[in-house]
Amino acid sequence: MATACARHILVKSENQAKELLIKIEKGTDFGQLAKKFSTCPSGKKGGDLGEFKKGQMVKAFDDVVFKKEVLKVHGPIKTRFGYHLIQTIYRN
């Protein structure tokens, strides 16, 4: 089964996710933004979700992690939890 390692920033609004994405694109550290703004408990670890298997996350999240370009920040991705900025660190 495929596994991947990813980190994310979870926020309540699409606008906030877009603002954070712009900051990341301008060079602001992803981990620092996750610690400051993410509503997910993983925010304390810079958004790091560790390694997980395909199917463990909600479908919209899985689709990004297992299908989109690695190391690029993708988003905003809407799930029932809010809006995510997702960066896949690796997958195998």
Residue 41 is predicted with a pLDDT of 97
All structural domains of the chain, each given as residue ranges with its CATH number in brackets, are 3-91 (3.10.50.40)
pLDDT tens series, the chain, 92 aa: 899 999 999 999 999 999 999 999 999 999 999 999 999 999 999 999 999 999 999 999 999 999 999 999 999 999 999 999 999 999 99
Q: Give all strands of the β-sheet with 48-53 in edge-to-edge order.
A: 48-53, 3-11, 82-91, 73-79
What confidence score (pLDDT) does residue 26 get? Answer: 98
**Predicted local distance difference test score (pLDDT) of residue 79:** 97
Token pair belonging to 36: 């400051």
Instruction: Say if residues 35 and 43 touch (Cβ distance below 8 Å).
Output: yes
pLDDT of residue 13: 98
Task: Give the model's pLDDT for residue 83.
Answer: 98
pLDDT on residue 22: 98
